[in-house]
Structure 1
Amino acid sequence: MVEEKVQSATPTSSSRVSLAGVKTKPTKIKEIKMGQTPRTQTKIRELDRVLGGGIVPGSLILIGGDPGIGKSTLLLQVSGQLNKVGGTVLYVSGEESATQIKMRADRLNVSGDAFYVYPETDMGAIKQTIEDVKPDYVVIDSVQTMSEPDVSSAIGSVSQIREVTADLMQIGKSNGITIFIVGHVTKGGAIAGPKILEHMVDTVLYFEGDLHHTYRILRSVKNRFGSTNELGIFEMREEGLAEVANPSEIFLEERLKNATGSAIVVSMEGTRPILVEIQALITPTVFGNAQRTATGLNRNRVSLLMAVLEKRANLMLQNQDAYLKAAGGVKLDEPAIDLAIAMSIASSYRDQGTQPTDAFVGEVGLTGEIRRVNRIEQRVAEAEKLGFKRIFIPKNNLQGWQPPTGIDVVGVATLSEALKRALN
């Protein structure tokens, strides 16, 4: 006797089936018609930039961030904008009641005829509601509070999160519904739950910021439809999140003119150039071992650059404590910031200030050479736009383009040459 399982006539829950009951089938690749994917503009330019130009229909967008940073506020504002452009929005909340959401919506001045609020955590009921309402956009706040009735484990467990996300992916891909998913983060800042959660979705956004400051940074770390490491900057106000059109001015507005230990870098965040002030404080060490502290910068990169300065520029830094930070709460992690870090350290050590209208771009090698960086034209143009008179760049970056006339572009080949010309 051999047991054989009879295949049911209805598609199983794991099959990709649309709400109309249409099951997917294999198609020859040459028969698939490739149309222009229409992106929906949210009218929030910072978010559209981070998403790569707008929302792609049928995509899954995961947004993570610390508690109280403004994830629900952002999605409520986005939902209101999508409703204004003609989309039907279903806002599913597992953390707040309908009355609480309405209170926040009134404060943010968000409303709409096709904007539905649904406080529910059961995925079976949510799928039925999606079938009834037929929304264009669904917001799940948050994925850790949703429960799959067929899974026996506790809410928020690895298996629950995995099954809920798989269910949402099936609904979104089969019906062309864009789904926003809010994800809680762990103490270390990563999205809570299995790593497969980030692999399954199309876009992963991190909402960052300091609870003691009003500015928030929306960063893309994965995007199947656009550039990664894009950056959008918002300001948290009483009436909600407001876009910051020119973040470079914010990062530079409180800079002291004749301060030592300060250097301006033009950093690229995705496709956007941003001017940031890098500050350094070098003081003689009191204890046996010198301290190296960095905020917004990689501590190992700072230690490496201090070793290069000591060996190639004859700065005695081994008995000096070093404290560095990127002003404004932004995090910088690209090779082009090396020269500005080195300049701020040398400026503080020598107690000589850099010129207020100088900017620095370049990667520093271990032999003291200044290596070329990418997107140099955009970096120089951004510095010129903000009124900088001189910018130090790698000498090899001078080839193949015409520098603008409104700014003096100085090509330097070594770190010692840059120090000599900038700190005179």
Structure 2
Amino acid sequence: MHDDPLFLKHVYYLKKEKRNFFNGQKDNPNGSFIMQPAAIVFLNLYIHSTKQFRDISIILSAPSATSQQHLNRQIQGYVLLIVQEEAHFLWTEELIERLIWGPKDLDVVSLVGMPGIGKTTLAKRLYTHNVIISRFDVCSWGTISQAYNKRKTLLEMLGDLVPLNDSTCSDDELAEKLRRHLLKKSYLIVIDDLWSIDAWDALMRCFPDDKNSSRIILTNRRDNVASYTKRFSAPHHHRLFTDEESWRLLQKEVFGEERFPPELEKIGVQIAQSCRGLPLAIVLVAGLLAKIEKQELCWRKVTNDLRCSCVIADDAQRYMDIITLSFSLLPDQLKLCFLYFGEYFGNGVKVRKLIQRWVAEEFAIGNGLKSAENVAKDYVMELVDSNLVMVVRRSFSGKVIAISMHDLLGEFCSTTCIDQWGPEG
């Protein structure tokens, strides 16, 4: 995320004024095109803010209002890539406006869309943004999911705000404790994966409206829930990725900063398109590709498997097919660890606690070279590298402290456990 105030100011200006970045003439014989002055300012700010594209050989300077800058095709490619990558930043910037400005009354910002489209990722981006953190007195996060557990959600939200030494409180006492802690404060609450109106009605009593611009971010899949919870802000409907955005994300997830092999580009584009603009599908497939040989024949098999799943109309089933492919490549012992984590701790757990449970259940077993704890640590990182779990928290040194799982992967774990061991397994 870009927290540079000058960068934010100019992106906001470009969006509001509906400026075009370029003035035609892309097909000039000399291979140059004319770039708007405001766009050159944007490019300068982007390079300064992100430390990317330092290899641009021409030093750009913001020209006067009447001057024009000619850039070669190489620079044009950089700029077009920046514009595409910043599309998602502009969504975030618009939502930040809703959160930090607007009415003094309590407002609800709903992020609506199908499973795996990136609602939770966007909510986390907002929740952890420096501008947001500095705007509110307190911030808290609660996850609901389809199987709503009021007590668990209340404990999760309270845990972000106060030390919890007494777990014997009733649900009503916990709700009242949360309400009292939020009184007279400007707060931001995230409620992730809200399914039902009843769950909203039960929780809404915890959130006082003291006319101090408090905000609630909701992520949900259903328009009727978003309409019911609406106060001032209209729901934000999360769109699918374009083919170009899907391709860029796949490249980044599989190869990082390394150059994508030219011989895999054609098949890579086909794989990205097969994910049909669903970010979670792209990330899962990338985790799968990262584990197999970087050969066209191996990648083509993945393409064929994806095409088979794409004839199924239901998006959730398409995800399950991709998850099944990824799961099948895990070692047998790691499969057990993955299923156990998804069944019991999918909404999030500290890695230390998870490792203790894996060792106690003998899912992670030591050998002559490593202790059971170190084997379990390797398992955690293998799941992270496969994109089957999400890192929730890291230490300052980068060590993974807590992980969670997307609810679709949790559903896969529950279904697989029942299929293998029955409902009591």
TM > 0.5: no
TM-score (norm 2): 0.26
TM-score (norm 1): 0.26
Structure number with higher strand proportion: 1
Structure number with higher helix proportion: 2
